[in-house]
Amino acid sequence: MTRFPLRRLRLRHGDEHRDAVEIELEPFELGGQRYLPVPQTVEAELALVQATTGLDLRLAFDVRLHGPCMRCLEEAVVGVSVDAREYHAADAGAVEELRSEYVADDQLELTAWARDAIALALPDQILHAPDCAGLCPVCGKNLNVEPHSHDDVPGDPRWTALQELKDRL
């Protein structure tokens, strides 16, 4: 878990602190599948600006995730560019929305923030190729390797009662 100590900073209103930090990334779970960040330790740019009532936090880095394609389960690689921002109010009595969940005991939890920022930056589907055909719904074969079709696809027996009703009408 990578943390950045905020206590050592002595920023006045309007001051900015920029730092290159190394963040250790954890494997990412999405839809029951595991995606590995490459590299596991990423160089990120951290910027902290002291506002009148708190800290404006910014984290930026690039990473690749390796894991299964969501359509055919072959190896997929997706590049993710993260540019995340958070605000943390200095007043301990401030409403919860103004206090960053990544700041605890004057420590900025960079690993947790990076994981959540990656999740927000991911595309809707992780595919090994944009034109991935997926798996055959009948036999389960990979349609990218072996494109085919089935002539006699048996109907789902759960729909039999509705089919009978349709035939009567």
pLDDT at 41 over 80: yes
Q: Are residues 158 and 116 in the same domain?
A: no
Q: Are residues 74 and 145 in the same domain?
A: no
Neighbours of 127 (CB within 10 A): 17
Q: Are residues 75 and 122 in the same domain?
A: yes
Tokens of 163: 């089919």
**DSSP assigned state of 128:** S
Q: Are residues 84 and 112 in the same domain?
A: yes
**Confidence category of residue 153, pLDDT binned at 50, 70, 90:** low
pTM for the predicted model, two decimal places: 0.79
Secondary structure class of 163 (helix, strand, coil): helix
Residues 30/10, Cβ–Cβ less than 8 Å: no
Q: Give 100-142 pLDDT, tens digit per residue.
A: 899 988 889 999 999 999 999 999 999 999 999 999 988 899 9
Q: Are residues 38 and 88 in the same domain?
A: yes
User: Using CA atoms, how far apart are residues 1 and 118, in angstroms rounded to an integer?
Assistant: 16
Segments forming the whole domain that contains residue 122: 3-132
Neighbours of 52 (CB within 10 A): 7
Q: Are residues 100 and 26 in the same domain?
A: yes
- Residue keyed to tokens 């740019």: 45
Q: Are residues 143 and 120 in the same domain?
A: no
Question: CA 23, 28, 30: angle at the middle one, nearest 5?
Answer: 150
User: Using CA atoms, how far apart are residues 116 and 121, in angstroms rounded to an integer?
Assistant: 9
Number of domains observed in the structure of the chain: 2
The pLDDT value given to residue 68: 96
The pLDDT value given to residue 51: 87
Name residue 36's amino acid: L
pLDDT at 77 over 80: yes
